[in-house]
Structure 1
C-alpha cells in the first residue's frame, strides 16, 4: 500500500487578496474560471456544516436547485481556510452515488467570499428524526445504513477518513438516496499513519480511543460512528448522548462493559486513561438495549462497537453481514417514504435542534 498525501493531487494556486500568501486548490481543469455567486438566488438557510452555513439556492442559468455552502471566514486574515481547501480538494476527486457532489466553486465580490455549489438533498437525517411521527421501520433502517456503508467503503478504499459522521451529516433525496456530507474534518491518510488533530468527531459519535487520547486515527473511528448512527436509527434517539467527555466515556462503559488489556491490547497505555475513573461493569448491555434485534443484527452492532480498533468491523465487512440478507430485507431506496421538507422552514426549532447536535 503506497503512502498517499494531499500533495499528490494536482494543484491550482490562488493568491489571497489580503496578503501575498498562496493557497492551493486542486484540479485546475475542474475549477477553471469561477462563476459569481450573484448567479445564484438564495432561497433559505438549510443548515450549518463544520466550516460553513448552507443555503438552498437556485442556479439562475439552469433553474436547478442546489445547496450553496458559504465558507466560514470568521477568524481568517490570510485568505481561504485550509479546512475549506481540504474539503474542496477531497470533494472534487470523489464521485459516488452516496457522497454529496461538489458541482463547482463560486466567488463573491472578493476571493475571500467563497461558496461551494453542491447537489441538493431534500432531507438530513437529524431533521427527519426530530420531526418524524413514527420511527423508521427496520427495512428502512437497513436501506439507509447500507447506503452509508457503500459511501464509506468508497472513502476508505481511497484512503479518506471522514472523521465527523453523524445523522446531521447524512443527507437524503426524495428518491431515497443517502449521501455523506460535510467533509470539513476529512483527511487523506497513508501508511505509516501520521498523527492528526485528536478533537474530531462530534462527542456522541466519538470512538473510545479518541476519548482516551490515541495519537493515530484509522478507518475504525468512522466505523464506531456508523455503529452509533445505526443504533440511533433503530432506537429513534441518540445511543450515547454524553454532555461531557467524562460522561461520554461512562456511557460507553455502561453499555459495553469496562475495557481491559485482554479485550483491548494497549488500552492501559493510552495517554488519557489515567484521567478517568472507570466504573466496574462486567456486562455488555447491547442485547438488553435492543431486545427485538436479531442475532445477526446484534452481532453487527457488537462488531462496530469493538473496543479494540484493530478488530472493529470495516465497511466491507458490514456490507457482507447476514443482517442485510435476512428478513425484513432492506427496502429499495426509491421505495423509501417521502417526508415534509423540514429543512426548508425558515428558523424555528429544526435549525435550533440541528445546531444543538452539531455543537455537542
Structure 2
C-alpha cells in the first residue's frame, strides 16, 4: 500500500524522509499514551470492592457505584471510607487553605515589653518617658495617658489622640506605633517614635536664634505637617514650640494631639477653651464657639515670631492681659480690619479708643511694626502679618502659606542634610519645665471675662489686673 504524499512536499528524498520520521514518532507517542491508559483502568478494576465487581460476566465494566465528591468539606462525604480509599488522603490535604497576612483584632501587648529608661516630661494629658523595647533594643517614647479624673470611662481626649495619630501618617507628624496596656484598666500607653529634642528647649539653650534659611526649613516642615492634617479635616488646637519635636537629622514632627479634633464645613459648635494661652487666637479669647483651622494658623504666626526672637511673642498673664498684648502688637480691631467682631460674646465689654474708628479702610492687612522684627524681609513681614491678622478669614491657609514668596526668595531654605545637629543628652532627656502656661484641660468651663480695662479703662473683672498696663495712642 503506497503512502499518501503530502502536497506540500517536493520530490526531495531527504525532505520526505524527515516527514516520515515525524509521523513515526507521533504514532509511537499515541501508542504509549493508549497503553498507559489501559494500565490505569486495569489497576482501578483490581482495587474495586466485591460489590463493584459484581457486573455482567461479559467483561464490560459498568459505571462506578458512587460518583467522586469534589467538595473540600469532609463532613459532606457519605458512605464508608472503603468506597474510595484512594480519595481520602486527597480530601484531607485539600482542606489546607492559603493564608495571607492581614490586620486583625487582637489584644494589646503589655507594657512590660518595654524597659523605661528615664522620665522626659509631664503634659496636660499624659506623662512621657524614654523607653527601650526589650526584644529589639529600639528606643521609643512611651506616653502614659492620664485617666485618673475620668469617672465616665476612657477620656475622649485619649480617644481623639489615638484616632488622629492613626489617621495622620505623614513625615512631619509623630508616628504612633501601637497602644500597650499595664496591669490595670487605667494604665494605657502610647508607643511612639522617639525624637531627641523639642523646639522650645532648643530655643532656650541656643545662644543665637536660627539663621533665616534654617527658620524657613523649620517653618516649611511645621506647615507641611499642618497642611496634611487640615486636608484630613483635623485641627491640632494646641500648636506651640514645646509640642514640636526635632531629631538630630533636622526633621520636625508635630506631637501631642490631646486636643486635636475633626471639624466640618460649616464648622460645628465647639469649646472656646482650647490652645495654650500664649498661642491662642483673638477670636477664641473673645468667646467664639464656631471656628476652623484658622486658629492653628494664628498659632503658626506665634511660632514664626518665636523662631525670630527666641522668646514667645505674646506672653500674657491671663486672658485679659493676652488680649492686651495682641492689640498692642496688631493694633485695635475695627469694622474694616475685623468685620463682625462685636458679635462675639466677650467683645461686648471691650471699650475701644474713639480714634480706632478712623483707621484706614483700604482693606489690606496692616503690617506689624518693623521695629519688632528688624531682620525680617518685606516678604517675611507680610507673611507674619497675615498669619497674625485679627480677622480669621484674612489668614492664609496652610497650603497658601507653603507657596508664599517668603520661601522662594534668598536665602533659600537650608537642606535638612546641612541642618545643624544638636547633641543628645542620652539618659538625661528630662526637659526642664518652662514658665509657660499649660494647655486647657477638658471639662473646664470658660470664665466670664471683662475686657473693659484692656485700653487703660477700669480694671478687668476676672482678676482685677489692668490688662498689660498701657494705653494705645492712635493718629
Q: State the distance in 2 between where 1:346 and 1:77 align.
A: 33
Q: Tell me by how many angstroms 1:50 deviates.
A: 3.0
Q: Tell me by how many angstroms 1:34 deviates.
A: 0.6
Task: Map Cα deviations across residues 83-140 of structure 1 (whole Å, 9 max, x no partner).
Answer: 1011101111110000001000000012221000011111100111111122111111
The answer to whether the 8 Å contact 2:332/2:352 transfers is: yes
**Residue 237 in 1 paired to residue 315 in 2?**
no
**Residue of structure 2 equivalent to 1:19:** none
Q: 1:66 aligns with which of 129, 140, 143?
A: 140
**Residue 133 in 1 paired to residue 207 in 2?**
yes
Higher relative contact order (CA 8 A, sep 6+): 1
| Distance 1:259-1:58 versus aligned 2 partners, 3 A rule | same
SS in 2 for 1:356: coil
**Residue 352 in 1 paired to residue 408 in 2?**
no
**Residue 310 in 1 paired to residue 390 in 2?**
no
Q: Tell me by how many angstroms 1:74 deviates.
A: 2.5
**Residue 166 in 1 paired to residue 240 in 2?**
yes
| Distance 1:41-1:151 versus aligned 2 partners, 3 A rule | same
The answer to whether the 8 Å contact 1:242/1:251 transfers is: yes
The answer to whether the 8 Å contact 1:35/1:105 transfers is: yes
**TM-score normalised to structure 1 length:** 0.87
> Which segments of 5 or more consecutive residues in structure 2 lack a partner in the other structure?
1-101, 360-365, 441-475
**Residue 222 in 1 paired to residue 296 in 2?**
yes
The answer to whether the 8 Å contact 2:277/2:437 transfers is: no
> Which segments of 5 or more consecutive residues in structure 1 lack a partner in the other structure?
1-27
Q: Which has the larger radius of gyration?
A: 2
Task: Map Cα deviations across residues 51-84 of structure 1 (whole Å, 9 max, x no partner).
Answer: 1010011011211111100000221234321110
**Residue of structure 1 equivalent to 2:411:** 328
Q: State the distance in 2 between where 1:308 and 1:197 align.
A: 19
Of residues 192-201 and 179-188 in structure 1, the stretch that sits farther from structure 2 once superposed is 192-201
Task: Map Cα deviations across residues 187-240 of structure 1 (whole Å, 9 max, x no partner).
Answer: 000122111111100011000000111121211000000000011001111110
CA RMSD, 1 decimal: 2.0
Task: Map Cα deviations across residues 290-313 of structure 1 (whole Å, 9 max, x no partner).
Answer: 122111001100110111111211
Q: State the distance in 2 between where 1:120 and 1:286 align.
A: 39
SS in 2 for 1:250: helix
Q: Which one has the bigger strand percentage?
A: 1
| Distance 1:31-1:226 versus aligned 2 partners, 3 A rule | farther
SS in 2 for 1:292: coil
**TM-score normalised to structure 2 length:** 0.66
**Residue 296 in 1 paired to residue 379 in 2?**
yes
| Distance 1:60-1:311 versus aligned 2 partners, 3 A rule | same
**Residue of structure 2 equivalent to 1:286:** 369
Task: Map Cα deviations across residues 327-350 of structure 1 (whole Å, 9 max, x no partner).
Answer: 111111232211133595366xx4
Give the total of aligned pairs: 330
Q: State the distance in 1 between where 2:352 and 2:247 align.
A: 42
The answer to whether the 8 Å contact 1:140/1:336 transfers is: yes
SS in 1 for 2:245: strand
